[in-house]
A = this chain, B = another copy of it.
Amino acid sequence: MFSERIDRLTSSLIREILALTQKPEVISFAGGLPSQDAMPILDMADVPENLRQYGATEGEWELRVGLADHLAERGLRCKPEQILITTGSQQAIDLISKLYIDKDSPVALEAPSYLAAIQSFRLFGAKFEELPLQADGIDPGQMDHLFARARPRFAYLIPTFQNPSGVCYSEAVRAAIAEVIERHGVPLVEDDPYRDLMYESVDRIPVCSRLRKGAWMLLGTFSKTAVPGLRIGYMAVSEDVFPYLVRLKQCTDLHSNRIGQWWSARFLKSPEYAGHIEGLCDFYRERRDAMQAGLLRHFHEIAEWEVPHGGLFFWVRLKRVCDTRALLVKALERNVAFMPGEPFFANAANGCYMRLNFSHSTPERMEQGLTILADVIREHFAKVAEEPAVDFAM
């Protein structure tokens, strides 16, 4: 007899699609895979011998110091003692679920939101309270009402180059929601994996940096800017929650691998780091622009979208209602993968979306893939042509 939470363990589209993308013939717009061509060299020739031993649960001191400096440059002041190294950012989500969620605990989050966070929160029994995303972020007034009504255990937000929508909160929204969060004393979980992948200059000071009291947790990772295979993420958190998160991590995997921490610390403080990020942004900006051009060519009649200023995704809204999971099956028959929009909505899906990643494919394969995908969508639309077109409110 399994635990009751296993009833909520949905099969994961990400997992099954990541498996498919390993086939070389598949053009994948599905995962959030960085391009290997843009990753730094993994020089491991001189790993220190003492890193073979067990390490501290909190993480390697050198990396924590480096990250405190890194975050200070980005507007968040915290001490190295407030940084916990995690086994990828996904582990931070697991630890937060453990810290806050009982069965039917209310959790506030954006609609849409990151599907692997939704999966973890759901596994632990969360009751989702959604905040619809608009072009400049969520509505602070709506958040105020939601907090008063639902008293969520925490708010999970991705204010900077949101996954999947690409939305980046404006400075005005950041200021307003910080005020609401502080007034209600709701802990803030700010998931922030895409901060450094910025293609145009926009507001992006962490919301956490505006909070003068209450619990806050900023989640970061090296997976999008450096080497995902090392599985090194981190949390910068307010002092009140740190000891709990450390003990939870100890129960979860004792500590994260030390070689990956050592490499990440060295990379972060290397003179090459700033240039690497700049080069990465140039590289991905070009791919974003290639996808925008491809979408304009092939999708202008069938979909709507905004050009994201950062991150790794286009969030494309189809002009007709359809089940994008059925579309995915058709697309995969023609060796193209994308991420259906439905699983990004914690409660009921709203509209008909697909998430398209632009970091992984070369511009040539991207063009090929978008052509096929547009064909598949048009064929599908032709079948449902008798139904009227719909106009979704965002």
User: A230 — nearest CB in chain B belongs to which residue?
Assistant: B257
Chain B nearest CB, measured from A120 CB (Å) = 5
| Neighbouring B residues of A123 by C-beta, 8 Å | 98, 248, 251
Residue A116 is within 8 A (CB to CB) of chain B in the complex: yes
Q: Is the CB of B11 within 8 A of A247?
A: yes
Instruction: Determine if A348 is an interface residue (Cβ-Cβ < 8 Å).
Output: no
Binds B, one of A87-95, A188-196, A296-304: A87-95
A213-238 near B? 1/0 per residue, CB < 8 Å:
00000000001000111110000000
Measured between beta carbons, the chain B residues less than 8 angstroms from A369 are none
Does A47 sit within 8 A of B, measured CB to CB? Answer: yes
For residue A105, CB closer than 8 A to chain B, the reply is yes
A252 CB contact (under 8 Å) in B50, B54, B90, B228: B90
Contact flag A231-B248 (CB < 8 Å), given A98-B3, A99-B3: no
In the assembled complex, A18 has its CB within 8 A of some CB on chain B: yes
- Chain A, range 237-256, C-beta contacts under 8 Å to B: 244, 246-248, 250-256
Give every chain B residue within 8 A of A99 (Cβ-Cβ): 2-3, 6
Complex CA gap A52/B195 in Å reads 20
B residues near A260, Cβ cutoff 8 Å? 257, 259
Which chain B residues lie closer than 8 Å to A257 at the CB level?
Answer: 87, 229-231, 257, 259-260
Cross-interface CB contact of A36 among B2, B9, B34, B50, cutoff 8 Å: B50
A198 to chain B, nearest CB (A): 22
CB neighbours (8 Å) of A274 from chain B are none
Closest chain B residue, CB of each to CB of A226 = B52
Counting every copy of the chain, the complex holds: 2
- Beta-carbon contact of A227 and B52 below 8 Å: yes
Q: A interface, how many residues as a size bin? A: 35 or more
How far is A90 from B105 in the complex, measured between Cα atoms in Å? 27
Which residues from chain B contact A326 at a C-beta distance below 8 Å?
none
State A24–B19 Cα separation when bound (angstroms): 47
A129→B135 CA distance, assembly (Å): 55
Cβ of A335 within 8 Å of any chain B Cβ, yes or no, is no
- What 1/0 flags go to A1-40 for Cβ under 8 Å of B? 1111110010110110011001000000001011010010
| Residue A42 is within 8 A (CB to CB) of chain B in the complex | yes
Question: Among the listed B12, B47, B124, B244, which residue makes an inter-chain contact with A6, where contact means beta carbons less than 8 Å apart?
Answer: B244
A201 within 8 A of B: no
Least CB separation from A15: chain B residue = B250
Is there contact, CB below 8 Å, between B31 and A52?
no
Question: Which residues does chain B contribute within 8 Å of A90, judged by CB atoms?
Answer: 251-254
Q: Does A64 contact B (CB under 8 A)?
A: no
Q: Using known A-B contacts A47-B42, A56-B18, A102-B4, determine if residue A231 contacts B256 with beta carbons closer than 8 Å.
A: yes
Q: What's the minimum C-beta distance from A42 to chain B, rounded to whole angstroms?
A: 5
A15 adjacent to B116 (CB under 8 Å): no
- Nearest chain B CB to A358 CB, angstrom units: 16
CA–CA, A33 and B254, complex, Å: 13
CB interface residues, A 134-184, toward B, < 8 Å: 153
How far, in whole Å, are A244 and B11 apart by their CA atoms in the complex? 9
19 A-B Cβ contacts within 8 A? Answer: A2-B99, A2-B244, A3-B99, A3-B101, A6-B99, A15-B247, A18-B54, A42-B47, A44-B45, A52-B227, A53-B228, A87-B257, A90-B252, A91-B252, A94-B252, A231-B253, A231-B257, A231-B258, A259-B260
Q: A53-B229, A87-B256 are known contacts; what are 15 more A-B pairs with Cβ within 8 Å? A: A2-B100, A3-B105, A3-B124, A6-B99, A14-B250, A15-B57, A19-B56, A34-B53, A39-B53, A44-B44, A52-B228, A54-B223, A94-B251, A229-B257, A259-B260
**For the complex of A and B, 3 pairs with smallest distance between CB atoms:** A44-B44, A229-B258, A87-B253
